[in-house]
Amino acid sequence: MKVQTYLAFDGDCQEALNFYGDLFDAKITNRVTYEDKKIDLSENYRKKLQHAELKGKDIHIMAYDATPDTPLSHGFKHHLSIDVADASKAKELFNTLANEGQIHDQFREREWGKFGRCTDKFGVNWMVNCN
């Protein structure tokens, strides 16, 4: 069995996957837009992603741009967690993810190791761990 995340975006999925691809040294695969789909969408939304995957050595995220009639809310019900062996790399990842986003817990020493929690500029919640 494998459990995997599937992220929904408000039209900025391509930008988010480009950002995560650079950050995690991963490539976008299985990129499908709404262009040829027989659904009621405005022309300016047709180039948005109906499905894409970001794949790298230690990452596999699926994502899409939710259609405008799909309600999305930004909440704290889920977080993506990253375990990093190197403390300086962990802090660098945390700072990059938190840039233009919101820090909820500064990356610092905790009783179990170093930890930080943030929401990135795309509304995705992250926890970065190093122990």
pLDDT in tens, the chain (131 residues): 688 899 999 999 999 999 999 999 999 999 999 888 888 888 888 899 999 999 999 999 999 999 888 888 877 778 999 999 999 999 999 999 999 999 999 999 999 999 999 999 999 999 999 98
Helix (H, G, I), strand (E, B), or coil: what is residue 84?
coil
Please report the sign of the dihedral spanned by the C-alpha atoms of residue 5, residue 74, residue 33, residue 14: negative
Phi, psi for residue 81 in degrees, rounded to 5: -110, 135
Statement: the pTM of the whole predicted model exceeds 0.75: yes
pLDDT of residue 111: 93
pLDDT at 99: 98
User: Any idea how long the chain is?
Assistant: 131
C-alpha 131/C-alpha 114 separation (Å) is 6
User: How far apart, in whole angstroms, are the C-alpha atoms of residue 27 and residue 17?
Assistant: 9
- pLDDT of amino acid 125: 95
Going from the N-terminus, what domains does the chain have, and what CATH number goes with each?
6-65 (3.10.180.10), 80-130 (3.10.180.10)
